[in-house]
Structure 1
Amino acid sequence: MAVTKSLAKFLTSQGLLLILFSLAVFASFRYETFLTPLNLMNIMRQNSMLAIVALGMTVVILSGGIDLSVGALVALGGVVAAMLAGQGSFVAIIGGIASTTLLGVVNGLLVSRARLQPFVVTLFTASAARGLALSITEERSIAVPSAASGLVWLGRGFIGSIPVPVLIVALLYFATWFMLHRSRLGLHTFRYR
């Protein structure tokens, strides 16, 4: 009985990690190049944006909220950054961040001040941001000019043998861990669960 409870507790807390590990073991036997350093770095680089979004969503969920607009906001921020890339990397990065921050503030005000349901507000924002991104681009990809080499470096560059996006994710994860476990804001975030 005690073993069953311990196993159930382990699967509840670590089940997803166990599934991920099982998939990695399967892939390493199925594909001989899966466990090569180049492939593992490539997987981490390609999933870095998803990891950053997941990090933000973790904080939102820990505070008892929900945000359905994150994917569409990432797309819109990328479109704005790509469109401003001709004016330099700094302008492109600030423009992308500012556009998504503005919509995030609108979400926050509608939820906290107007007392609208987060599900409804962020679903609307997701639709609006996705539509705006498609409208601005006319459903075409946008080429980033060479003038924005810093922007390209953030997405595809390396420091030593480690991709820059992987380093950014690692720094953000450490900063979020520190905020959640060592700051007053983190204590308040867990308190609202």
Structure 2
Amino acid sequence: MTTVSWRQRLADNGQATGVCVILLALVCLGLIRYDNFGSAYNLSSFLNYNAMFVLISLGMCLVIITGGIDLSVGTVAALSSVTAAYVSPYGLVPALLAGLATGLAAGLVNAVMITRLHIPPFIATLASLLAAKGTALIISGNQTVPVDWASGFTRLGMESIGGLLPWSFAITLVVGAGLWWLLEQRPIGRTMLAVGDNEEAAHLMGLPARKAKTLAYLISGGCAGLAGVFLASGFGAGQPLEGLGWELTAIAAVVVGGTLLTGGKGSLVATLIGALMLGLIFNLLNFENGLGTFNLSAYWQMVIRGAFLFVVIAIQVQITRTRNTG
């Protein structure tokens, strides 16, 4: 048992190291090729924008570790941004709590459907995706909802610590550290891994499998809700039409980080690095557009993201087959 655990930990560290090496290589490429790539403005803007995607990727990682999926994170973030915008006249903290509560409520609905009603995660979260999207459009009147600029709510998404580290990303790092502690140091984290590996065996062992899955979906919803708060604060308005495809970005980051789509194995650290790597690829493409080498619209970026996800999953499937037959 000790040898297997040691090998597993070494493999996980190797995955995180590999993703980190790619990230550093992309950073070096950007610093060499583009004049303003290393500027404080670009770094702060990059971290501020990608804080949302890092958050939903971390939540998605826990869900996938349990063997599930959460397709609702993007539209839940959009709904939470609308909720936070409506509450923003009452101040930063009430708006933040409103957005977070919206995400947690969506996560609880997903958890109940999956753990109590035994609806497959794909179907349950797809239903939540549609419901959240419709609710956001109804309460916003299919319009962006402006925030109250005088309440200080926009400071969360527009200001930085020392002009370099955005508050949104600093909070994301704190959330990430807490989730890492939960997964790696607490019994409930080991239960999540056990559920993803073999849920029936986890039940027979007396592990709180239902509690672990419920917590995973609650965290995923909470992360999406907080991402929605960052969205409203950073753009100055609730965005009911945002969130399309965010779930694919999160899944891609999780898979790039080495988490198995079948569950039972995953790394939050590698997921965080994977999310930043994906964000950096599109940051580099934007700089390349500025040079006039080519001109890729946002639609082409969606195509690239989908193709990238397909390639990564195909590689993961092949590696899994090789290990199972080896």
Where does residue 160 of structure 1 map in the other structure?
162
Pick one of 113, 116, 129 that aligns with 2:116: 113
**Cα offset for 1:15?**
5.2
Distance in 2 of aligned mates of 1:39 and 1:109: 42
Verify: 1:184 aligned to 2:187, yes or no.
yes
Where does residue 3 of structure 1 map in the other structure?
none
**Cα offset for 1:84?**
1.4
Verify: 1:170 aligned to 2:152, yes or no.
no
**Contact 2:44 2:160 (C-alpha < 8 Å) held by counterparts:** no
Where does residue 93 of structure 1 map in the other structure?
96
Pick one of 66, 78, 81 that aligns with 1:63: 66
Distance in 2 of aligned mates of 1:100 and 1:177: 20
Listed one character per residue, the Cα deviations across residues 22-53 of structure 1 (whole Å, up to 9, x for unaligned) are 43333333311112233122211111011111
Distance in 2 of aligned mates of 1:167 and 1:20: 19
**Cα offset for 1:16?**
4.4
Listed one character per residue, the Cα deviations across residues 77-133 of structure 1 (whole Å, up to 9, x for unaligned) are 110010111233332222212222112111110100000000001011111111211
**Cα offset for 1:55?**
0.8
Where does residue 5 of structure 1 map in the other structure?
none
Where does residue 250 of structure 2 map in the other structure?
none
**Contact 1:87 1:147 (C-alpha < 8 Å) held by counterparts:** no
Pick one of 117, 121, 125 that aligns with 1:122: 125
**Contact 1:75 1:133 (C-alpha < 8 Å) held by counterparts:** yes
**Contact 1:73 1:129 (C-alpha < 8 Å) held by counterparts:** yes
Where does residue 142 of structure 1 map in the other structure?
145
Q: CA 1:159 to 1:37, structure 2 compared with 1: closer, same or farther past 3 Å?
A: closer
Where does residue 87 of structure 2 map in the other structure?
84
**Cα offset for 1:17?**
4.1
**Cα offset for 1:156?**
1.6
- Secondary structure at 2:119's aligned position in 1? coil
- Secondary structure at 2:32's aligned position in 1? helix
- Secondary structure at 1:47's aligned position in 2? helix
**Cα offset for 1:171?**
0.8
Q: CA 1:155 to 1:147, structure 2 compared with 1: closer, same or farther past 3 Å?
A: same
- Secondary structure at 1:65's aligned position in 2? coil
**Contact 2:80 2:100 (C-alpha < 8 Å) held by counterparts:** yes
- Map 1:14-29 to 2 at 5 A: 16-29=19-32
Pick one of 38, 45, 69 that aligns with 1:42: 45
TM-score (norm 2): 0.52
Q: Alpha carbon RMSD of aligned pairs, Å?
A: 2.1
- Partner amino acid for 1:41? S
Distance in 1 of aligned mates of 2:97 and 2:42: 32
Distance in 2 of aligned mates of 1:103 and 1:52: 16
TM-score (norm 1): 0.85
Unaligned runs of 5+ in 1: 1-8
Listed one character per residue, the Cα deviations across residues 125-173 of structure 1 (whole Å, up to 9, x for unaligned) are 1111112112222222221113431x21221222323211121111111
